[in-house]
Structure 1
Amino acid sequence: MKPPLLAWTILTANLIAGPVDFVREVRPILEKHCYSCHGPDKQKSGLRLDIKADALHGGDAHAPNIVSGKAAQSPLIQFISTDDEDTQMPPKGERLSKLEVDLLTRWINEGATWPDGVDTAKTVDKRDHWAFKPLPPQQGSLDSFIATKLAEKGLHLSPEADRRTLIRRLHLILHGLPPTPEEVEAFVADNDSKAYEKQVDRLLASPRYGERWARHWLDVIAFGETHGFEVNTPRPNAWPYRDYVIQAFNEDTPYPQFILEQLAGDTVGKDAATGFIVANAALLPGQIGKDEESKAKARQDELNDMVSVTGGAFLGLTLHCARCHDHKFDPVSQADYYGLQAIFSGVRHGERPLKSAETRKYEEENATLLPRLAKATHRLIQFEPVSSALQVMSLTSNDAQQPLRPPVHTHRNIDRFNPIPTQKLRFTVLATSENNRYEPCLDELEIYNTAGQNIALAGQGAKVTASPSWDSGKHRLIHLNDGQYGNDRSWISKTKGAGWVQVEFPKAESIEAIVWGRDRLDEFSDRLPIQYRVEISNAGGTWQLVASSQDRLPYPGPKARLSQPEPQDASKVSAWHEARGEVSALESKLNTAKTGPMVYAGRFEPAPPSFRLNRGDVTQPKEEVSPGAVSALGAPLNLDKNAPEQKRRIALAKWLADPANPLPARVLVNRLWQHHFGEGLVNTPNDFGRNGALPTHPELLSWLASEFIHSGWSIKHMQKLIVMSQTWRQSSAPHQDGLTADAQTQLLWRFPPRRLEAEALRDAMLTVAGTLDLKMGGPGYSAFAPNNNYVRVYDPKAEFGPADWRRMIYMTKVRVAQDSTFGSFDCPDAGQSQPKRPRSTTAIQALSLFNSSFVNQQAEILATRLQGDAGKTPAQQIQRAFALTTQRQPSTDEVRVCESLIRDHGLPALCRVLLNANEFLFVP
C-alpha cells in the first residue's frame, strides 16, 4: 500500500532537508501553540518554553520535558501526540499538525540544538537579589545612614526626647514594664554624662529583659502549649522551651549557639531548646486516619512545618513554597526542600526526658549498664535448657526429649538454642492471653550471640521490621530494640492475637538465644504472647525454626505468680542465683536512670530514607535525596544519605551560623530593629526573598548585620547600639515637614510612637497596681476555666486571683483561643507564625479595656495602693496616680478635672480612666 500523499511528502522532505533550524522552524511552532501557557506571562506546571535554559531544564512534573536525542522519551512529544483528552497539549484550541509534530520530533532526535543568544527573553537569575549578596565591609554608623536618607527628602533628625520620656521608652521596650516613680526621679536628677548608658546597661542585665524579648521569638515560631486543630489537647510539658528562650536572651547567648541549641540542644545539654522544632500545631494519632496514605500525608505536613519554621525564623525565606515545585521567586529548588526535610526526617512530635546535671550523671552510668546487663543475661541464659525445635538439624535427639520448660512469663522469657549462624531472626506471635482479644505486645526483643552481646540493639546497627503495628507515643516499632523496658517503650501489633517482628543484623552472627517480655517492669500482663515461633534465615534465604512455645508448660493465667525454677544440678544453684540477682539489679538501675521530668521537645529516631515527591504527592516518590540545605546559599552540607540523625541537625545549625551565609544575620538584626522602632527595615520579616519587601535602608541593614557578626553575634550589643543612637532617642513629636514628606515615618525623622502589645499592657497594669508576681519559670497560669472534655472547650475565666498575676508570657499559650480582655489587642493565637503583629484599633478593644473585670479589679487595687502611698488627700492621690501611670506630674487643669471625677465617682473611677488613657497605653 502506498503511503498517504502528506506522509510521502514529509518523508521525502526529511531525506533531502538538512538539520532542523530552531529559529526558523521550531520557535514559530512553540510560539504559536505553547507560549500562551508556557511563555513569559504564564508558566503552567513550572514549564517555560521561550528561554533555552528553562525549556531544557523542564517543568515541575516531568522534567526534563525535552530529552536530547530521544524524542520518543520526551514528554513534550508525548503530550502533543497523544489522543488522551486529559493529557494532550494544547488542552484547548488548535492541535499541532502532523507536519509540526514530526518537525519537533526531528529536532529533538537531532540533539535539540538551540543556539545561544536567540532567546527573546532572558532567564532571571534568582540569586541576583540584595538579600543574598555578601555583607560589605563595615563603614559608617547607624545615625549616618539615617541622616543621609533624611537629607534626600530635606529632613533631619528631631531633637532628643526629655528624660522622663526616654526612661519610660527604655523600660517599655526593653522590659515591657513601666519604670517606678522613684526610678524616674533618680534618672532625671542624675547629672552623670553616662546616666543614660547606665540605665541601658541596668535594663539589659535584668531578668525582666528576657521575659520581654522571649515573647517576640515565640511569635516567630508559633509556640503553643496545646496541639491545636479540633481536639486541641494540652501539651503540659511544653513550657520548658519558653523558659529556655527567656534564659537564652538573659544570658545573651551568641546567636550561632542559640541556633545550635534549638536544632540540636540534645547534644549540648539544652534538651528543652529543641522544642523549637516541634513548636507548631500537630495532629494526634487518632486524628490522622488509619490508612498508610493518611499517615504519610500527616507526616509530610509535620516535616513541612519544621522546614517552614526553620526557614522563616533563621533565613527569612518561604521554603515551603518549594514543596511541590522549584520556588517561583527564590533560588530554592524542590531538591533543596526535600534535602531540608531529610534533616528533620528522624524528628517526631512528642516528649522525652528533660535532662539535668543529675540525670546526665545517671545517663553516663547508663552507657555502661546495657553492656553489663547483656553479659549478666548471657550468664543466666547458660542455665536454660535448649529448645526442642526438632526442625533444627544440629539439635540432638536427647535435646528434643528434655522436660517442658516453664510457661510464658510477662516479665522475662528466655529461648535458648544451639548456636547457629544467621543475619536475620523473626519472632511470630500465634496466639495471646485472654483468648486473642487484644493485639500482642513486646517491650524489648534481645538476641544474644555466642560472645554474650545483645546484637538486636538499634545502637548496634540492627534494623527492625514488622507486620502492621501501632504508632503512638508509647507503642512504636522502634521501641522494640531501644534498650528501654516497660509498657511505655513497647511494640504492639495491629492484629489481634497475631503479628511478627523481624531483626536484621549488620553482618552474619552466630546466635544462641533470645530474651523477650511483654513488660519487664511487670506492671501489665494483658496482650501477652503465649504461642509463638522463633525462626532464623539460613544461608539459602529460607526460614528455619529454632525455638517455639510448644515445649513450654501451659500458660496458667495472669493471676499466677511465676518464677524461674532453680537448676536441678545443685552445683549450679549458687552461680544461677548470682547471675539472676545481677540481672535484676542492673535492670532496676537501668529503669531508675531513665525516670525524670519530661519536656515536649521532640523525639529522635533513626532517619528513614527521604525522597523528592512529584508535585509534593506522597504517593509519587521520585529519587532519594541526601540531607542538605539551600544550595544557592553558603557552603554545601555534603552529608551522606545514611548520615546519623543527630549529625544532620548539627550540620544544619553550623551551616546557618556560617558568616558566608548573609541571611541569618540580616534577618535577626531586622527583627531587633522592628521591635525597637515598631517597623523593620524590611517590613516582611519572614520573607527576604524576591517576593518580599525591599529594605528602606539596605546599606544600614547590611552594616547592622556586619556589626552583629563582628560583635561575636551578641544580641544585647546590637540592642544597646540601637537605643544609644540619636535616631532612637529622638522626640516623637510630629511636625508638618516630616508629615508631608514621610507620613508613615519610614525614614525615621522622629521616633514613631505606638501602642503597647497585649502582654505589655497587662503587665503594666499589674505593675502600677502593685500586684505583679515576678516569679519566673515553671508551668504557667491559665486564662481559661478548667475542663476535661475530649474536644477541649476553652471558656475564659470569670475571675482572676494572685495566682494569675504573673507576667503574661507565663500564661499557658492555648492555640486558637484568646485571653478575654487582651486577646483583642492583636495577640497571636499560635495557629501560625506571626513575626509581625498587626496594630488595629477597634471598638472591641476600647470596650474590653474599659469594662473587663480584670481591668476594674486592678483599678480597685490601684486605688487602695494610692490611699496607702499618698494618704486621703485627693490632690496627692492624683499626683501619685500620674507618677505611677505616666511618669510625670499632672497639670493644674488635670488635677481639677480628676478631683471632680473622684468626688462624683470615687478614686477607683480615676484609676480606671488612667489605665485606659493613651498616655498609659502607648510607647512615647
Structure 2
Amino acid sequence: MRLVIPFTFLASCSALAVEVRVEFNRDIRPILAAKCYACHGPDEDKREADLRLDVRAEAVKAAIKPGKPEASELWKRITHTDPADVMPPPSSPKQLTNVERDLFRRWIAEGAEYQNHWAFEPIKRPVVPKSDSKNPIDAFIEAKLRAHDLKPAPAADPIALIRRVYLDLTGLPPVPADLAALSGWSDQTYEQIVDRLLASPNFGERWARHWLDMARYADSNGFLGDGLRPNAYLYRDWVIQAFNTDLPFDQFTVQQIAGDLLPDPALEQLTATGFHRNAALNTEAGVDKEEARYQNIVDRVNTTGRVWMGLTVGCAQCHTHKYDPITIRDYYSFYAFFDNTEDRSDSKIKALTLTEVSKDRRQTYVHMAGDYTRRGPDVIPASLSALPPMTRPVQPEPNRLDLARWLVSPQHPLTSRVAVNHIWSKLLGFGFVRTPDDFGTAGESPSHPELLDWLATEFMRNGWSRKHLIKLIVMSATYRQSSAHREDIVELDPLNCLLARQNRIRLDAEILRDSALAVSGLLKRTIGGPSFRPPLPEDVFDVGRSSNWKASPGDEIYRRSLYIITLRSVLYPTLTTFDSPDAADACVRRERSNTPLQALAMMNDSVFVEAAQALALRAMHESPPEVAKRLRLLFKLTLNRPPRAEELQRLAVFHREQKARVEKNGAKALQVLGNNTSSIARPDQIEAATLVAVARVLMNLDEFINRE
C-alpha cells in the first residue's frame, strides 16, 4: 500500500508520493525549516526557550520522546488549543496544517529518526535502474514515472526538436538549409546535429550568457556615477572561449577564483579573475572607503556561496544562519580568503583582474552583527565547518587557490550537484532542485535525487566536461519528448516535476531579440570584441546621470544581444521587459513573467519593427512573386516549418485584408516600411507594406516567442 500525499500540500517537486513510513529529509525537515527553525534552529542568538530542533540530541532532551507522540512536548505544543501555549504562536504567518501535524505525530511514533541534510551528504554513484533505454537518464526518469503509473510523452516532432536543440545549444533558430536533415531523419542524424552545434562558436555565446548572469557581468561600476569599464568585455570573451574550448569546469572554477595564484599564470588565467571584478563598485566622492571595501568582499563571499555551492551563506553575515549549519564565524573565516585581495587593471592584458596583497596584510575578524566597524574574534581563512575539511595547505594558512581546489574536490558534496542542476535547468526548464541558489534546509529537495547524484558523478568522471554532460542530456529521450499538454498529469503533477513531457519555455530576452534579427537576415554574427550601444528612446535618460547616448554605427547595432553594453544605470529596456537581470547580484535563475508590456514591445519596439521590415523584404527577394509562395517562405523562416493548409488559408485572408487597408490609406500606410521605402520600387511598395504586417503577426505568435 502506498500513501499518496495531495499535491496541494506538497507545493513543490520534492516528492509526489511516499511510502507509509515518514522520512525526515523528505517529509519533516521542510516543515521544520519553513516554520520552526527561525526560533528553534542553529542561530543561538535568536533561539527561543533554549530549544533546538535541528539537532536530534538537543530535541529529544526537551521536546521529543521517540515512539511516544502524546508524551512529547512538541506534539503537545503543536496541538494545543491555548493561544498562549500553541506553537507556532498565533502571531506567526506560518501555521501548521492538519496534514503536517499528522506527519509529526507519525514521525515521532516511528522513532523520530533524523537524517543529515541530503545536500551535505557525500555524493555516491547510484545504480542505474533496469531499463531498455540506452541512456541512463531515461532509466532514472522512467523508473520514477512507473512508480506513479505514468508513461513518458512521445518523441517531439523532428522539426520541433531541431528548433529546440538549436535554440538551447546556440541561442539561434535553424536556417532553412538546416531542415534538410529531415529527409533522412534518424537518431544518428540527430546526434550529428548535436555534435555540430556543440562545435559551433555560437555554443559559447549561448552558454556564456547563462554564466554571465551568475557572474553579475556589466560594463559599468553602478551607483550614482556609474563609471564605464571599457575593458570589462575581455572577461566576457574569456567565458565564451572557455565554453567553446570546453575548459573543464574544475579549471574554469580555479581560474576565476584564483587564477592569479597559479604558478606562472597565463594572461587568460589572469583575465578569468575578472569574475569577482564584475560586481558594482562605489567610486563616489565622499564614500567611506572601508565600508565600500567591506561590502565588496561581502559580495564576493555571498556570490561564491550561491554560484558554486548553492548556499545562502550571506544569511550568516550578521548572525549564525537560521536554517543551515553556517555560523557567523564560518562566514568571516570564508571572508578571510578575500580580505587581502586587491583590484587591479592589468596593463599587459588591459583587463580587470584580482590579485593577492603581499605586504601589510590584514588580520581578519568577525564583524559583529555585520557591522564593519565592530571587531569581534580574529579568524583565519577556513572552509565551512559543516562541509568536508580543506586539504592542509603548503603555506601557513590556506589561500584562494586552496579554496578553489576545495570547491572542486571530489569530496565536496555541493559543487558538482549545483553545476549539474544549473545545466539541467537550461535544457529542461527547471532544475532537479527548483531553488538553485538554496540547496540548504530551507530550499526544495530534488525531484530526482538519484539521477542528480548519478549525473554529478558522471560530470566529474568525464573530466568536468560540460559539453559531454550537455550532449548526454540532449541525446536522452527525456529531453527529446514532446512538450504538448497532458491531461493525465494535470492533477498528479501540474508542475511536471516527474518530467512526463518536456517543458515549454519562453525564450530568454536576448534569444528573442537574436531570433528576430536572425530570421530577418539582419543579424551580424561577429563574435567577441567591445560591447555596442543599441538605439534607445530619449526618455530612458530622464533618470540617472547617463546621457549623451550615441548608438553604435552601421550594422553594429544588429549584433547578438550578448554584446549589448550593460550600464547599470541605463539597462536596455527591450531586455528588461523580458526579464533579463539587472547585474546587481548573481542571478542563478531568471524569472519568466507574462505581461502586456511584452506584447507591446514585440509589436512596437524598434528592433522588432526593423526585423519585420527586413523579413518582408527578404521574402520578396527570395521568393517568386506569387502570394502563396511568399507566405510559405515567411512562415518557414519564422517558425522553421511549412504552414498547414488551414494556417496558409488564414494567412492568405489576412494578406488580402491588409493589402486592401494599405491601398486605402495610401502614403500613410506605407510609413510601415520606414527607411526602406526609397529602396523599393514603387509598384512593389504596397506588397512590401502588406508583407510587413504578415511578418509582424508571425513574429508575435507564441510559437516564435516560445521554445517548444
* TM-score band w.r.t. shorter chain: 0.7 to 0.9
Change (3 A) 1:823 1:801: farther
1:677 corresponding residue in structure 2: 428
| 1:602 to partner: Cα distance | 3.2
2:228 corresponding residue in structure 1: 234
1:730 corresponds to 2:481? yes
Q: Secondary structure, in 3 states, of the residue corresponding to 2:277?
A: coil
Residue identity opposite 1:223 in structure 2 = Y
CA distance in structure 1 between the aligned counterparts of 2:644 and 2:185, rounded to whole angstroms? 26
Note if contact 1:315-1:667 (Cα within 8 Å) is conserved in structure 2: yes
Instruction: Give the stretch that moved more between structures: 665-674 or 629-638.
Output: 629-638
- Residue 611 (structure 1) aligned to one of 365, 378, 382: 365
Residue identity opposite 2:164 in structure 1 = R
Aligned pairs, number? 573
- Residue 766 (structure 1) aligned to one of 507, 511, 517: 517
CA distance in structure 1 between the aligned counterparts of 2:137 and 2:332, rounded to whole angstroms? 39
Change (3 A) 1:768 1:38: closer
- Residue 382 (structure 2) aligned to one of 628, 631, 639: 628
Uncovered stretches (5+) of structure 1, i.e. residues with no partner: 1-35, 59-119, 290-294, 356-597
1:199 corresponding residue in structure 2: 193
| 1:210 to partner: Cα distance | 0.6
| 1:793 to partner: Cα distance | 2.2
| 1:668 to partner: Cα distance | 0.2
1:257 corresponds to 2:257? no
Residue identity opposite 1:657 in structure 2 = V
1:129 corresponding residue in structure 2: 117
CA distance in structure 2 between the aligned counterparts of 1:820 and 1:719, rounded to whole angstroms? 31
Note if contact 1:264-1:649 (Cα within 8 Å) is conserved in structure 2: yes
CA distance in structure 1 between the aligned counterparts of 2:572 and 2:167, rounded to whole angstroms? 21
1:244 corresponding residue in structure 2: 238
Change (3 A) 1:825 1:192: closer
Residue identity opposite 1:166 in structure 2 = L
Change (3 A) 1:851 1:325: same
Q: Deviations over 1:93-147 (max 9, x none)?
A: xxxxxxxxxxxxxxxxxxxxxxxxxxx9xxx999920001111224212112211
| 1:323 to partner: Cα distance | 1.4
1:837 corresponding residue in structure 2: 590
CA distance in structure 1 between the aligned counterparts of 2:167 and 2:342, rounded to whole angstroms? 38
1:922 corresponds to 2:673? no
Alignment of 1:692-703 (within 5 A): 692-703=443-454
| 1:276 to partner: Cα distance | 0.8
2:81 corresponding residue in structure 1: none
Residue identity opposite 1:262 in structure 2 = Q
Change (3 A) 1:793 1:737: same
CA distance in structure 1 between the aligned counterparts of 2:245 and 2:432, rounded to whole angstroms? 26
The structure with the greater share of residues assigned to strand is 1
Alignment of 1:53-452 (within 5 A): 128-140=116-128, 141-184=136-179, 186-191=180-185, 193-266=187-260, 267=262, 268-269=265-266, 270-284=269-283, 286=285, 288-289=287-288, 295-355=289-349
| 1:790 to partner: Cα distance | 13
Q: Secondary structure, in 3 states, of the residue corresponding to 2:445?
A: coil
CA distance in structure 2 between the aligned counterparts of 1:658 and 1:37, rounded to whole angstroms? 31
| 1:805 to partner: Cα distance | 0.8
Note if contact 1:237-1:600 (Cα within 8 Å) is conserved in structure 2: yes
Alignment of 1:532-543 (within 5 A): none
2:354 corresponding residue in structure 1: 602
| 1:347 to partner: Cα distance | 2.0
| 1:279 to partner: Cα distance | 1.6
2:92 corresponding residue in structure 1: none
1:884 corresponds to 2:637? yes
Residue identity opposite 1:162 in structure 2 = D
Q: Deviations over 1:487-543 (max 9, x none)?
A: xxxxxxxxxxxxxxxxxxxxxxxxxxxxxxxxxxxxxxxxxxxxxxxxxxxxxxxxx
1:804 corresponds to 2:557? yes
2:611 corresponding residue in structure 1: 858
Q: Secondary structure, in 3 states, of the residue corresponding to 2:336?
A: helix
Note if contact 1:126-1:331 (Cα within 8 Å) is conserved in structure 2: no
1:872 corresponds to 2:614? no
| 1:792 to partner: Cα distance | 3.0
Across the aligned residues of Structure 1 and Structure 2, the Cα RMSD in angstroms comes to: 3.1
Q: Tell me which structure has the larger Cα radius of gyration.
A: 1
CA distance in structure 1 between the aligned counterparts of 2:654 and 2:120, rounded to whole angstroms? 59
**TM-score, with normalisation over the residues of structure 2?**
0.76
Note if contact 1:882-1:888 (Cα within 8 Å) is conserved in structure 2: yes
Note if contact 1:352-1:602 (Cα within 8 Å) is conserved in structure 2: no
CA distance in structure 2 between the aligned counterparts of 1:604 and 1:684, rounded to whole angstroms? 33
Change (3 A) 1:707 1:287: farther
CA distance in structure 2 between the aligned counterparts of 1:224 and 1:682, rounded to whole angstroms? 28
Q: Secondary structure, in 3 states, of the residue corresponding to 1:602?
A: strand
CA distance in structure 2 between the aligned counterparts of 1:686 and 1:771, rounded to whole angstroms? 37
1:908 corresponding residue in structure 2: 692
| 1:819 to partner: Cα distance | 1.9
2:532 corresponding residue in structure 1: 781
Q: Deviations over 1:730-787 (max 9, x none)?
A: 1111221122321221211111111101011011111111111111111111236699
Instruction: Give the stretch that moved more between structures: 797-806 or 203-212.
Output: 797-806
Residue identity opposite 2:215 in structure 1 = I
Change (3 A) 1:784 1:638: farther
Change (3 A) 1:250 1:799: closer
Note if contact 1:231-1:790 (Cα within 8 Å) is conserved in structure 2: no
Note if contact 1:38-1:44 (Cα within 8 Å) is conserved in structure 2: no
1:28 corresponding residue in structure 2: none
Q: Deviations over 1:696-734 (max 9, x none)?
A: 111111111111111111111111111111111111112
Note if contact 1:38-1:49 (Cα within 8 Å) is conserved in structure 2: no
Q: Secondary structure, in 3 states, of the residue corresponding to 2:257?
A: helix
Change (3 A) 1:735 1:37: closer
CA distance in structure 2 between the aligned counterparts of 1:686 and 1:223, rounded to whole angstroms? 18
| 1:815 to partner: Cα distance | 1.8
Change (3 A) 1:615 1:206: same
Change (3 A) 1:805 1:343: same
CA distance in structure 1 between the aligned counterparts of 2:296 and 2:596, rounded to whole angstroms? 38
**TM-score, with normalisation over the residues of structure 1?**
0.59
Uncovered stretches (5+) of structure 2, i.e. residues with no partner: 1-35, 59-107, 129-135, 660-689
Note if contact 1:47-1:54 (Cα within 8 Å) is conserved in structure 2: no
CA distance in structure 2 between the aligned counterparts of 1:327 and 1:605, rounded to whole angstroms? 30
Change (3 A) 1:689 1:125: farther
1:111 corresponding residue in structure 2: none
| 1:334 to partner: Cα distance | 1.8
CA distance in structure 1 between the aligned counterparts of 2:542 and 2:378, rounded to whole angstroms? 43
Note if contact 2:307-2:586 (Cα within 8 Å) is conserved in structure 1: no
The structure with the greater share of residues assigned to helix is 2
Change (3 A) 1:818 1:790: closer
| 1:155 to partner: Cα distance | 1.0
Note if contact 2:533-2:552 (Cα within 8 Å) is conserved in structure 1: no
| 1:902 to partner: Cα distance | 3.1
